[in-house]
Structure 1
Amino acid sequence: MTEIRTPRLLLRRWHDDDLVPMGDINADSHVMHWIDDGAVRDLDQTAEDIERWEEEWDDEGFGRFAVELLASGELAGFTGLYVPEFLPEVMPAVAIDWRLGSQFWGQGYASEAAQATLEFALQDRGLDRVICINRTGNEASENVIRKLDMTQESVTDHPVHGYPLSVYAIDLTEFQA
């Protein structure tokens, strides 16, 4: 089983008891504001997401980690890797993303989890390059991206929703563990 420990977090595969707390995160309009069309997701949709994320692990050898707080055992959300097929102009690529419950914002958890995931991608999984796709204007995620030392490569429009997306990248030669 793939797990990563950071000073405050456990990044791990998904458990059955993660469904309800992840469902609560996906049902929060503040969390979902910058994602797709901003609509919240219900418990059934969250179950489908988790199932798909677990299948990605089996198919790709990477996926989204459940992010658990070591101190309390609470599920804070996810961070992980995915293939951004929805945006053909960046392909072939592997992207990093994250989603944490709003009660966990502003404490450095997203940066800590994303840094560990980026290291996992470039050192453990042998990827040469990782991108990040961020909805332009999402300053909280921009801050995480800056901490990852990613460089903006392009701006494009979301193929379905039409809003601008900034594409960032880092390759193995630029990465400082």
Structure 2
Amino acid sequence: MVALKVFSVLSIAIAFVTAAAHPLSDQLVTRSISVISTHSATSSYKSLTTRIQTLRRDIDSGRVTETQARSQLQSFSSEARSTFTAINNCEACFHHDSVSSMTQYAQQCYSELNSLVDTCYRVYPEQARTIVTPLGQFDSQCRQNLALFRQGGIPVQSIIPSNFAQTASRAGWSQTSSFASSSSSRSSSSSSSGGW
């Protein structure tokens, strides 16, 4: 009887560890995200960029239905929110002397996000607005991420594509769209002032 109980406990423990490490379990995987340095932040940006590229290619292939696309974006949005939150919580990452090491990877990530939204509108012109709705889950985290780069001395316009404010609006990112627009206006104003 004792041996049976021990075996049962071990079986449960093994099952739990297996589930926690299962690559298909977005909810469990995102819980393990921890960013404590620019190195881990860079890895997080890279991972997110790869995930976005895969999503975009699947949607662009035409093999994904509207329902499937929305479901995949729902899962991705949960992952993206956790990833951006972890990066944003890394205080050391956004110091003036270290933030520049992440810029290139953040640029790639925002560029792919831009392309993902554009692809959804091109492939599903009538249903796109509904399909991309889940992306709104990480609107505030996205805006905060851009704000942290600016605080670290990196111009927002050097990170996002030139049409990102419009794309963010189409994706339902009201906070990010507003922030990107104001940053663009500020950048244009500074350029104009510098010309006098």
Short-chain TM bin: 0.3 to 0.5
Q: Comparing both structures, which one devotes a greater share of its residues to helix?
A: 2
Q: Which has the higher strand share?
A: 1
Q: Identify the structure with bigger relative contact order (alpha carbons < 8 Å, sequence gap 6+).
A: 2
The structure number with the bigger radius of gyration is: 2
TM-score (norm 1): 0.33
